[in-house]
Amino acid sequence: MVFQGNFEAEKLMLGCILLDNSLVKQVGVQPEQMSIMHQGLLRAMLEIGSRGEVINRATLHEKLGTSHMAQLDLSEMMEGVPSVKGYKLYEKLVMKAWKRGEVRRLAEEMLMAPDEVDISTGEDRVDVFLREAQQFGGLEAAAEEFDLRGTLDAMYEQAVKGERPLGLLTGYRDYDRLTNGHGKGQFIIVAARPSVGKTAFALNVAAGHLHMGAGSDGSGLVEGGSAGMAGSKGAYGHLYSLEMSSEQFLQRMISARGRINSQKLRDPVKLFDKGDWERYTGAVEAIGKEKLYICDRSSVKVSEIYANTKRLIDRYPELDHFVVIDYLQLLRPITKRSNRQEEVAEISRALKVMARDLNVPVIALSQLSRGVESRLDKRPGLSDLRESGSLEQDADIVA
């Protein structure tokens, strides 16, 4: 497939550079990201500009030669530009066309492949396509200028007023004081030995995020748990239960929300009293109003979580989103490797990248190694995280 690009946007972009040579210093598009017709022209402009020379018909003719110049109408390029102030827009359109072409090329390669699985790597071709296509989402034609002075002024003003940025609050006051809540782009690991209460803790954290939302006022976390409610716009939870069914997951949520003994939920008809039924009904109604997505598939890859989360963020952009994964070691590896530690390291890094790319907190539960039980001091450390040393490197918070 021959890449066509946005030909008109390219002409306007190049016309702007001809009219205002200083713009060549702002070029963020690579020549290879242009149509074939314009690649050589942009490459010549960049080279001439790097030498500090004027970019005009004469210097371009010297660089490109007569035959190449005969194919280009520089006068048309310059005359078609309504204003050089639109340069950034034209460059953005050029980059957008290139990204669309690259995704189309990847899709065609996937569809034309003879097998669903790449024999050399063992990867599913759909997963490869999703992972490679995602990289184009964060690319921009040129980096925006960083306002250092403005950023520092805002930080100073926050400090003077006693304000502190709060992420999504959990409802555990001491934990929220230590962490300032779960911030956007953070990768949080909650680790413990089996049957200690990781899932119960994660469900309570999710409930806190849904109820309390993001903190915003300078008073911090006050008694009564109301801090942050004023600035909260609501939250959407993405829960991935790889160890139990969605019904079991919801049963535990009902038990926590209704403060009902989980043993009674095994046979409500025989074991519930009137108060239990009232709390059960209230919990079911309350949970039914939450904005939740629950996936209970036992085999999920990070690329699938990424795609699902991105889809729901696009559908509900006004809400704060968060992801809970129960638990990290049960995720399918992105690529099959002989070394389990390498697989977990790749999963860990992919979750951190997802948190940053989608700007959401990702809370992943993790197992601890048995070594912690054989010590006199059973307080776990970072080295006790199971199966990979990369977990402690990628995580922003390890609880």
Among all residues, which ones are annotated catalytic? 243
Q: What is the spatial distance between Cα 356 and Cα 197, in angstroms, rounded to a whole number?
A: 28
Q: Name 7's Cβ contacts closer than 8 Å, sequence gap at least 6.
A: 35, 37, 38
Continuous H helices in 113-168: 125-134, 148-161
Burial of 22 (0-12, 13-18, 19+ CB in 10 A): exposed
Residue given tokens 């995720």 in the structure block: 331
Question: How many other CB atoms sit within 10 Å of the CB of residue 47?
Answer: 14
On whether the CB atoms of residues 268 and 280 are closer than 8 A, the answer is yes
Residues 244, 266: Cα–Cα separation, whole Å = 16
Q: Using CA atoms, how far apart are residues 239 and 326, in angstroms rounded to an integer?
A: 8
Per the CB < 8 A criterion, the answer to whether 16 and 87 are in contact is yes
Residue 337 to residue 141: CA distance in whole angstroms: 35
Q: How far is CA 244 from CA 45, 53, 258, 301, in A?
A: 60, 67, 20, 17
Determine the Cα–Cα distance for residues 114 and 38; give it in Å rounded to an integer. Answer: 35
DSSP string, 53-86: ---SHHHHHHHH-HHHHTT--HHHHHHT-S-GGG
Q: Which residues contact 398 (CB under 8 A, 6 or more apart)?
A: 188, 189, 191, 382, 385, 391, 392
- DSSP helix/strand/coil, 293: strand
Q: CB under 8 Å to 294, separation ≥6 — which residues?
A: 239, 240, 241, 246, 249, 250
Q: C-alpha 17: how far from its chain's center? A: 35
3-class secondary structure for 193-253? CCCCCHHHHHHHHHHHHHHHCECCCCCCCCCCCCCCCCCCCCEEEEEEECCCCHHHHHHHH
